[in-house]
Amino acid sequence: MSKIVFITGATSGIGKACAEKFANAGCNLIITGRRNDRLLAIKKELEEKFNTEILTLNFDVQDKELVFSTIEKLEDKWKKIDVLINNAGLSLGRDSFLDANIEDWDNMIQTNVNGLLYVTKALLPSLIENEAHIFNIGSIAGKEVYENGNVYCASKFAVDALSRSMRVDLLKYGIRVTAIHPGAVETEFSIVRYKGDKEKADQVYKGMKPLTGEDIASIIFFTASLPQHICINELSVTPVQQASTYYFHRES
């Protein structure tokens, strides 16, 4: 699989797992993230381990001007992008609509929605030229709301809608668009949501075996490996012990 794969939010979790999976298959990578030290460490690790080439781009997807200017400066050899994985995203807080922090709302919308839009739009000429495959990482929270999920759910509903509309608008260019909607995945997600409170974060996965970043990366890799005429439009993926945003079977 000799391709160029562009991954946002590649410094941890699903993004990092995707980088490892595609690098192992011989792909060259463009990885982005806010933590440059982590980007450089991942680049060094994967280039040495898999003999592949990796370009790091240090930016926050919320920064529209920086996203566009950075992508515009890509060397020609890096513009032949075959796979885009819009993974950068976050949840902040678990508060009622009444008590929620508006700055948290802004941060989620700017990252989960606008960031996805900026990166995809900036890369679109390359994606069209290469009949690329776009993966948007949503959530089962984009399929059904839950108590105190408010704006996080809204942002992931937006990812679902954008994935569907991209599929329609880009149909004539041969671009595949796949929305991946995971349930409980044990990454830094809950630590970020609870703002560093590890005890609260650990309760999310208590009594169950959650998905891992590697699980989702394997699904993305399989989907990207299908013949060009096949498009899996969306996948909803949960641990066996989770049936929805509400229903869990936890072992005591």
**pLDDT value of residue 121:** 98
pLDDT in the model for residue 197: 75
Q: What's the rounded Cα separation, in Å, for the pair 217 and 237?
A: 12
Tens of pLDDT, residue by residue over 66-112, are: 999 999 999 999 999 999 999 999 999 999 999 999 999 999 999 99
pLDDT of residue 155: 98
What's residue 198's pLDDT? Answer: 82
Per-residue pLDDT tens for 143-185? Answer: 999 999 999 999 999 999 999 999 999 999 999 999 999 999 9
Which of 152, 194, 246, 247 is the catalytic position?
A: 152
Summarize the confidence of residues 229-252 as an average pLDDT.
95
pLDDT per residue over 1-26, tens digit each? 579 999 999 999 999 999 999 999 99
pLDDT band for position 187 (50/70/90)?
Answer: confident
* pLDDT band (50, 70, 90) for residue 191: confident
Annotation marks residue 152 as catalytic: yes
Average pLDDT over residues 222-234: 98
CB under 8 Å to 200, separation ≥6 — which residues? 190, 194
The whole-number pLDDT of residue 1 equals 52
Among residues 246, 65, 237, 25, which one has the least CA distance to residue 135? 237
Instruction: Give the list of residues 6+ apart from residue 63 with CB closer than 8 angstroms, or none.
Output: none
Using the predicted structure, report yes or no on whether residue 189 has a pLDDT greater than 80.
Answer: no
Say what the pLDDT of residue 201 is: 75
Residue range 203-223: mean pLDDT, rounded: 95
Q: Token match 């699904």: residue? A: 219
Q: Reduce the secondary structure of 62-91 to three states and give it as a string.
A: CCHHHHHHHHHCCCHHHCCCCEEEECCCCC
Tens digits of per-residue pLDDT, 115-145? 999 999 999 999 999 999 999 999 999 999 9
Answer whether 0.85 is exceeded by the pTM: yes
* Structural domains for the chain: 4-237 (3.40.50.720)
Across the beta sheet with 4-7, what order do the strands follow?
A: 54-58, 28-33, 4-7, 83-86, 133-137, 176-182, 234-237
Q: What are phi and psi of 29, to 5 degrees?
A: -125, 145
Task: Work out the pLDDT band at 50, boundaries 50, 70, 90.
Answer: very high
